[in-house]
């Protein structure tokens, strides 16, 4: 089965190291609040909330924080949030998809557009980039879930499409429509002894774009800026770097 993106893995590790814990907790708590407000406080009846709680637990957000975020979503009043997707082409022709949850569309659009403009790039229209990506379910487990062979067997039995494993963990990919069923089947297979680090719908590149040198540097800066915007929830790209470039950027 196809290998996990090395660049995505470098980004994942870098993000864990560099992003302040409080900022990450705030983003996850916001998603819980939005999910609670939009679909109710019962995770069993609200798939978005269930996923948000899973992802929060995956990075050790305290239970009290999670409950406060749920309660905030249920409280009277508060801002109404909308989910928006932006697409653009970054340095070196890399396709970038940004998912945001916002209570002010004009503010968010201005912030995202400014980030691209400062990088010498521009936003595109909806669909201008996403046709180069597949929207899939991604379920991530740590290495404690088992060997690559054991996890692959469990994933195939659960109905997954693809699995990638390395020393950092396991990434299980599903068709979007099978995401919930596969997640449930995996939970049963692991008998709740191992919790997933995250479970979400992602944009996975069909074709990667090689970048190096100045383009790689500019791309990293752009992705960092986008990731730091308050309204941005997820950023995806289809860049590919050589081992040498990854070592330079990670150094």
How do residues 40-72 score in pLDDT, each as one tens digit? 999 989 989 998 998 899 888 999 999 999 999
Work out the average pLDDT over 146-168: 93
pLDDT exceeds cutoff 60 at 12? no
Q: Measuring CA to CA, which residue among 57, 56, 12 is closest to residue 31?
A: 56
Give the end-to-end CA distance of the chain in Å, rounded to a whole number. Answer: 30
How do residues 91-107 score in pLDDT, each as one tens digit? 999 999 999 999 999 99
Least confident of 8-12, 176-180, 194-198, 245-249: 8-12
Rounded Cα–Cα distance for residues 3 and 157 (Å) = 19
The residue with greater pLDDT, 100 or 9, is 100
Work out the average pLDDT over 129-134: 95
What are the φ and ψ backbone dihedral angles of 2, each rounded to 5 degrees? -65, 145
Work out the average pLDDT over 166-177: 93
Return the pLDDT at 14.
Answer: 53
pLDDT exceeds cutoff 50 at 79? yes
How do residues 204-232 score in pLDDT, each as one tens digit? 999 899 999 999 999 989 998 998 898 99
Rounded Cα–Cα distance for residues 2 and 165 (Å) = 10
- DSSP lists the bridge partners of residue 114 as none
pLDDT exceeds cutoff 70 at 5? no
Return the pLDDT at 2.
Answer: 43
Return the pLDDT at 15.
Answer: 52
Q: Measuring CA to CA, which residue among 59, 117, 58 is closest to residue 86?
A: 117
Return the pLDDT at 80.
Answer: 81
Tokens coding 217: 């540097």
Residues contacting 145, CB < 8 A, separation 6+:
151, 169, 170, 190, 194
pLDDT exceeds cutoff 50 at 1? no
Work out the average pLDDT over 230-242: 89
Of the pLDDT bands very low, low, confident and very high (cuts 50, 70, 90), residue 34 is: very high
pLDDT exceeds cutoff 90 at 186? yes
Rounded Cα–Cα distance for residues 83 and 134 (Å) = 19
Of the pLDDT bands very low, low, confident and very high (cuts 50, 70, 90), residue 143 is: very high
CB-neighbour burial class of residue 143 (10 A; exposed 0-12, middle 13-18, buried 19+): middle
Domains of the chain plus CATH, in order, are 6-74 (1.10.10.200), 82-131+206-250 (3.30.70.980), 133-205 (3.30.70.980)
């Amino acid at each position: 089965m196809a290998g996990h993106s090395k660049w995505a893995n470098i980004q994942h590790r870098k993000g864990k190291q560099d992003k302040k814990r409080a900022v990450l907790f705030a983003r996850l708590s916001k998603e819980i609040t939005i999910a609670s407000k939009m679909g109710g406080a019962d995770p069993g009846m609200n798939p978005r909330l269930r996923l948000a709680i899973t992802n929060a637990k995956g990075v050790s957000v305290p239970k009290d924080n999670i409950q406060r975020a749920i309660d905030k979503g249920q409280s009277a009043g508060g801002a109404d949030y909308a989910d928006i997707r932006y697409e653009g082409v970054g340095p070196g022709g890399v396709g970038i998809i940004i998912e945001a949850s916002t209570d002010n569309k004009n503010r968010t659009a201005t912030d995202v557009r400014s980030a691209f403009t400062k990088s010498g790039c521009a936003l595109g229209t909806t669909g201008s980039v996403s046709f180069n990506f597949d929207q899939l379910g991604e379920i991530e487990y740590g290495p404690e879930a088992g060997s690559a062979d054991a996890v692959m067997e469990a994933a195939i039995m659960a109905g997954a499409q693809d699995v990638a494993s390395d020393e950092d963990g396991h990434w299980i990919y599903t068709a979007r429509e099978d995401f919930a069923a596969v997640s449930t089947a995996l939970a049963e297979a692991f008998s709740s002894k191992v919790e997933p680090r995250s479970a979400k719908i992602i944009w996975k590149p069909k074709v990667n774009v090689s970048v190096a040198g100045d383009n790689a540097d500019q791309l990293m800066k752009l992705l960092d800026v986008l990731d730091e915007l308050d309204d941005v929830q997820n950023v995806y790209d289809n860049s590919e770097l050589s081992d040498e470039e990854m070592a330079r950027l990670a150094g």
